Amino acid sequence: MRTMSMPSSIRITDVGPRDGLQNEPTPVSSEVKIAFINQLQRSGVAEVEVTGFVHPEWVPQLADADDVFSRIDRVPGVVRSALVPNEAGWDRAQAMDVDKIAVFTAASEQFTHKNINCTIEESLDRFAPVVRAASIAGKAVRGYVSCAVACPYAGPVDPAAVVDVVVRLLDLGVDEIDLGDTIGVATPHDIERLLVACAPHVSPAEVTLHLHDTGHAALACALHAMQLGVRSFDTSCGGLGGCPYAPGASGNLATEDLVRCCEMLGVDTGVAMPAVREASAWIEGALGRPPVSRTGATWTQLSSEQG
Ligand code: HMG
Ligand code: MG
């Protein structure tokens, strides 16, 4: 694959309210979530993944999904999306008039079983009527492939296994492929191998990358991916995140870390750093701990020096 120069712009989806808060041991009230989501919607990100219409017993932290979605602002130009695992989730999402849904499966049988209680094949069968209904309703559909690099239960994942799932999702008619490094262990080399394997079916320019940052290489992976043509990234404000069914996985690549790096490189993200800082301070205040992002650490340092 040819290495390209840095893009002039990228698209950011902040998944913090969903991926970030689904894994928090501290309960977060619906009011705090709503304020957080509204701040993110005004930060300049293209999309906010608001919540998941998943089973409340499987992810109790998102049990208020319907209430939260019904009360957030509609900010012109910002896509408000949510996870949908099956038809029951689609019914809930449709009632909330979501702009876009995300179906989610994985390239690992073990993870799929733990996360959504079925095989990969069964998950795709469940998605078929959901994708059809969403298309009729004029809603865009993202298709996540988790464990695109490694599985918390089965170890390294062969890119060929990812390609199989990507092809099946494209056949179902999803509009976007999102490759998830669920446990945050990818290296730039892994990302390149993955993009090369997927390229005959979906070009890097059509892929979204969803990087967790357990190995502290998510930023390096994102920069390398940009050079390989990827233009769309999931991040989370404050570096929140983690999947309750991926033990040991840390948060997503922090929005502020990617934005700051892009600012240094002249890559436009559309995101206003002061707004991300404010949203990060808000949610970390509610959670009672400092941000885990690198940029957040400099904010904390600067405020303590000034204070
Ligand atoms: P199940 O128990 O196998 O579901 O769960 P079921 O189809 O057997 O139904 C059992 C009952 O649940 C039924 O009710 C259904 O109506 C109800 P009953 O008849 O017994 O009264 N039900 C629902 N209720 C509300 N909303 C629904 C729903 N579906 C069924 N959507 C299920 C299967 C998929 C629902 C469950 O396993 C689940 O909700 N899993 C979600 C797990 C999750 O959210 N994980 C985190 C997100 S994935 C992630 O973080 C990775 C990602 O970030 C990318 C990356 O990092 O790689 C996206
Ligand atoms: Mg994730």
Ligand 1 in reach of 85 Cβ (< 6 A): yes
Is the predicted pLDDT of residue 215 greater than 60, yes or no? yes
- Residue 15: pLDDT band (50, 70, 90) is very high
**Mean pLDDT for the stretch of residues 14-28:** 93
For a substitution probing ligand 1, which of 54, 127, 165, 221 has the most ligand atoms within 8 Å of its CB?
Answer: 54
- Please report the pLDDT score of residue 243 as a whole number: 84
Domain boundaries, the chain: 11-306
- Please report the pLDDT score of residue 112 as a whole number: 98
What's the pTM?
0.97
Atom of ligand 1 nearest to the CA of 145: 57
Ligand 1 in reach of 113 Cβ (< 6 A): no
243 catalytic residue (yes or no): yes
Instruction: Compute the distance from residue 243 Cα to the ligand 2 centre, in Å.
Output: 6
pLDDT digits (tens, 9 = 90+) for 95-115: 999 999 999 999 999 999 999
pLDDT digits (tens, 9 = 90+) for 154-203: 999 999 999 999 999 999 999 999 999 999 999 999 999 999 999 999 99
- Please report the pLDDT score of residue 307 as a whole number: 53
Question: What does the alpha-carbon distance between residue 258 and residue 122 come to, in Å, rounded to a whole number?
Answer: 35
- Residue 61: pLDDT band (50, 70, 90) is very high
Tokens, residue 292: 């885990």
Atom of ligand 1 nearest to the CA of 22: 46
CATH number assigned to the domain covering 11-306: 3.20.20.70
% of the chain beyond a pLDDT of 70: 96
- Please report the pLDDT score of residue 249 as a whole number: 87
Is the predicted pLDDT of residue 53 greater than 70, yes or no? yes
Question: What does the alpha-carbon distance between residue 141 and residue 93 come to, in Å, rounded to a whole number?
Answer: 12
**Mean pLDDT for the stretch of residues 85-92:** 98
Ligand 1 in reach of 89 Cβ (< 6 A): yes
Is the predicted pLDDT of residue 47 greater than 70, yes or no? yes
Question: What does the alpha-carbon distance between residue 78 and residue 95 come to, in Å, rounded to a whole number?
Answer: 19
- Please report the pLDDT score of residue 305 as a whole number: 62
Q: What is the largest CA-CA distance in the chain?
A: 57
Instruction: Tell me if 90 sits within 8 A of 130, measured CB to CB.
Output: yes
Length of the chain (residues): 307
Instruction: Tell me if 173 sits within 8 A of 141, measured CB to CB.
Output: yes
Which ligand lies nearest the alpha carbon of 246?
A: 1
Question: What does the alpha-carbon distance between residue 214 and residue 181 come to, in Å, rounded to a whole number?
Answer: 10
pLDDT digits (tens, 9 = 90+) for 112-135: 999 999 999 999 999 999 999 999
